[in-house]
Copies of this chain bind each other. A is one copy, B any other.
Amino acid sequence: MEIIRLADYNIFVGSIWKELQSFLSENSYSKIAVLVDDNTKDHCLPLLEKNIRDLKFTIIQIPSGEQHKHIQTCQYIWEKMMDAEMDRKGLLINLGGGVIGDMGGFCASTFKRGFDFIQIPTTLLSQVDASIGGKLGVDFMQIKNSIGIFNNPKAVFVDAVFLKTLSFREIRSGFAEIIKHSLIADLMQWSKIKQLQSLEGIDWSSFLVPSLKIKQAVVEKDPFEKGWRKALNFGHTIGHAVEGYALETKVPLLHGEAIAIGFITEAYLSHKKVGLSGLELKEIVQFILKIYDPKPLPESAFPTYLSLMSNDKKNENNEINFSLIYPVGKAIINQTADEILITESLRYYNNLFAN
């Protein structure tokens, strides 16, 4: 068991049951609800029920998937909280991936102006990303996480046991955030990662703690994303737009799959704007192509991408804000790029497939 201590809560990484049992015993909650989706109900809830004795709780179940991360689902969750007569001394346990954690945290923080919640992230993505930072919320008008607040859970419990229930695509999606943490802050880790030939047989536990510590260091410097925390957005300005667009099509992308495309296009912007070397760009591109096997983007979607980017939360004064890298292992925040250069980066990406 490794414990990452943040200013106002702890992240327990390892086999979590003993710590979770203690946490529940130490806090006398009036009522407990567990938020699950269709997947975690079947694959993760039985583990919770098996390992925690005498846990009385209400189950709130929502459909799986990012396409349900919206205010209507919040209304459903709030209704269930009302039906269960949850009060301010209650606890919500968010058992699931980023959607469950972000939306459940938002609902708990706004129901009767807020009661406690804990996160038990069950995907690699949510384990390395959503468990630090206090960003809660839902998508709105195709803009990712555009309605929400900052608020911290009472504790986070990260256990690699849940990763066994994931598909290869989901594992690979989460791995994108591990790649990102190395690209913006840990050259050594990137040197190790870029040697990987595939994701088969990897022991993810060894990646979790170093990655969480990078995120911790960044977030503690800037909890409300006034400045430095934007470093974490490398790959996410274009990545979010690609993800938002794909969400409305028949072939939605997982978050990490979209962000991986963001790494290539924003590494290109880093090359053009802040001096990332051609060699570093090439290494990133080759690694992403090898691991993610991405597809070209439809040129007809470019105007939509640009319009989605123009509504990004990080923007100020109508300029599209980027967090770039130079050199690999260091982030440079508050960069802007105009529509011409952004389009050029999308074409650069598409040209990788031309031959």
Contacts and interface: CB of A to CB of B under 8 A. Distances in A.
A8 to B, nearest CB: 14
Contact of A311 (B82, B109, B113, B148): B82
Nearest to A147: B110
Contact of A111 (B89, B110, B147, B315): B147
A140 interface: yes
Interface string A65-81: 00000010011001100
B141 A316 contact: no
Q: Which of A110, A137, A140, A311 has the most CB of B within 10 A?
A: A110
Contacts of A109: 149
Contact of A113 (B78, B112, B137): B137
Nearest to A318: B85
Contacts of A135: 113
A77 to B, nearest CB: 11
B88 A316 contact: yes
Interface in A133-160: 135, 137, 140-141, 143, 145-150
A5 interface: no
A87 interface: yes
A79 B79 CA distance: 23
B310 A85 contact: yes
B313 A88 contact: yes
A75 B82 contact: no
A140 B82 contact: yes
Contacts of A111: 146-147
Interface in A107-124: 109-114
A225 B111 CA distance: 14
A30 interface: yes
A189 B315 CA distance: 50
A313 to B, nearest CB: 4
A82 B149 CA distance: 16
A150 B113 contact: yes
Nearest to A146: B112
A30 B317 contact: yes
B316 A30 contact: yes
Interface in A297-329: 310-311, 313, 315-318
Given A88-B313, A310-B85, A78 B112 contact: no
Contacts of A89: 316-317
A130 to B, nearest CB: 14
Given A71-B71, A113-B137, A137-B110, A87 B313 contact: yes
Q: Which of A82, A111, A113, A148 has the most CB of B within 10 A?
A: A113
The 3 closest A-B pairs by CB, nearest first: A112-B313, A113-B148, A89-B316
Interface of A: 30, 71, 74-75, 78-79, 82, 85, 87-89, 109-114, 135, 137, 140-141, 143, 145-150, 225, 310-311, 313, 315-318
9 contacts: A78-B146, A82-B140, A82-B141, A82-B146, A87-B316, A110-B147, A110-B149, A112-B146, A113-B225
